[in-house]
Amino acid sequence: MLQKPIPLFLSSCFFALVSAQTPTHRNVSIDDQSPLIDYVPRTSWSLTDAGDWDAGEGRAHMVTNDADAYATFRFIGVAFYYYSALWPYRVGTGIRVDGGPVTVIDQQDHDSAPTAENQGPSVRAQVLSSVTGLSNSEHTIQILPPPGYGVAVVDFFM
């Protein structure tokens, strides 16, 4: 049987389709005031004054000291990065991925001598926790005061 050659036009279309489907990952910045972050209850969370320690456009972060409060962020993607400053005293925020166990993100600057707890940060915001290798589907991140700490911080996500 005689095979018709595939017209060049069709084969280049096919190539374009295949390359468009190649997964390419890019980082998306989510600052603390993003409407994609749900603060529950909203009244338990407050926005700090702007300072050079925090990440994002706003240069501030959200904080709660309500043990029952939490923040929820849903996204479709393969990785999640949590950014925050460090403080020269004991600070820790809880993170729960897809309803799993709560892990504590240590936000204490262990290189500085401990100060009173009303002092500002001592290290600029950086990646303190990363969740990688997720399936490319919807994931839910919950940020909450972990047991034994009493605060939770939301500054910047990637």
**CB of 3 vs ligand NAG, minimal distance in Å:** 42
**CB of 43 vs ligand NAG, minimal distance in Å:** 32
Cβ-based nearer residue to ligand NAG, 55 or 143: 55
Q: Which residues of 22-32 are buried (b: 16+ CB within 10 A; e: fewer)?
A: eeeeeeeebbb
Report the C-alpha gap between 10 and 112 in whole angstroms: 64
* Residue of this chain nearest to ligand NAG (CB atom): 27
Residues that bind ligand NAG in the complex, under the rule CB under 6 A: 25-27, 81, 127, 158
Report the C-alpha gap between 157 and 90 in whole angstroms: 22
Strand-strand pairing, 80-86 and 156-157: antiparallel
Cβ-based nearer residue to ligand NAG, 13 or 28: 28
**CB of 128 vs ligand NAG, minimal distance in Å:** 11
